[in-house]
Amino acid sequence: MATTRCERQGQIEIGIIEHQGHEFVALGASVVGRHVTGYTKSDRHGIKLAGWCGKTMLDCRCEIIERYWSGSLAFMFRLTKGRFVVGYALDENGMLFRGELIDNCDEDDARREARRIASFFADLDAEDEEAFQAELAQA
Computed over every residue of the chain, the mean pLDDT equals 91
List per-block mean pLDDT (blocks of 10 residues) for the chain, which spans 139 residues.
85 88 88 93 93 88 92 94 95 93 95 95 88 88
Q: How many domains does the chain have?
A: 1
pLDDT at residue 112, as a whole number: 96
pLDDT at residue 63, as a whole number: 95
Residue 56: give the domain boundaries.
3-138
Q: pTM score, two decimals?
A: 0.84
DSSP code of residue 6: E
Please write the tens of the pLDDT for every residue from 80-112: 999 999 999 999 998 999 999 999 999 999 999
pLDDT at residue 8, as a whole number: 86
74 Cα distance to chain centroid: 10
Query: From the CA atom positions of the chain, what is the Rg in Å?
Result: 16
CA distances from residue 81 to 14, 34, 51, 117 in whole angstroms, order as listed: 31, 16, 24, 22
pLDDT at residue 71, as a whole number: 86
How far is residue 49's CA from residue 89's CA, in Å, rounded to a whole number?
11
